[in-house]
Amino acid sequence: MSELAERLAAVRTGISDAATAAGRSPEELTTIVVTKFHPASLVRELFELGVRDVGENRHQEAQAKAAELAEPELRWHFVGQLQSKKARQVRAYASVIHSIDRTALVDVLRSEETSVDCFVQLNLTDDPGRGGVAPTELEPLVEHVLATPGLRLLGLMAVAPLDEPARPAFARMRELSERVQRLAPEAGALSMGMSHDYADAIAEGATHLRIGTAITGNRPDRG
């Protein structure tokens, strides 16, 4: 078994154990393997190991990998900050966009022809420089997404703050999700939890985990 296969198996076991501890089924969870800075060959190996959901946070890199692999069963998740000028290009290959955080971006992603799944990204910190919409502005943005053709809202996404325990932040996400579901009952998904905190995320209701180094190993030297 390759090191990649061993790491993938270990994380899958960890996810299953965390789900069981939370009284949930592992089947409720989608694991997105974040492959930024890794070559397309690693994504191909992951695919051969049964992975179907991969995440990228840089458009140029994601676009090149998606073009090189061109595997219809592979779902590309864009999980990074998205510039409005790149949004329509990202839409062309991404199955899911996790970082909707402003009305201008929603407007650029509008389409009468095709639909793309998306999450509204929340900023759980007091730093406006971090990606995501402030909780106080959540409902207006959600309403704008719901009113825009070509976008299907799955739920909310966030990165846990670095300066506080993850579990309380994820609990806030769960509460904010309840607000969203008053507007869109079907939009109850929660994209939260990374390599170091996915167990806490699962305990608080995560449905989509974004896991990188715990599966892929350290990023290659980009020297």
Q: How many helices (H) and strands (E) does the chain have?
A: 9, 8
User: 76 pairs with which residues across the strands?
Assistant: 54
**What type of residue sits at position 25?**
S
Q: What is the pLDDT of residue 222?
A: 54
Which pLDDT tens digit goes with each residue over 30-44?
Answer: 999 999 999 999 999
Low-confidence ranges of the chain (pLDDT < 70): 221-223
Q: What is the pLDDT of residue 56?
A: 98
Residues 6+ apart with CB under 8 A from 67: 93
- Residue 65 · residue 43 · CB < 8 Å: yes
Answer yes or no: pTM beyond 0.85. Answer: yes
- Residue 176 · residue 192 · CB < 8 Å: no
CA distance 97 to 86: 12
CA pseudo-torsion sign 161, 21, 204, 101 = positive
- Residue 71 · residue 93 · CB < 8 Å: no
CA distance 156 to 142: 10
Residue 172, both tokens: 């806030």
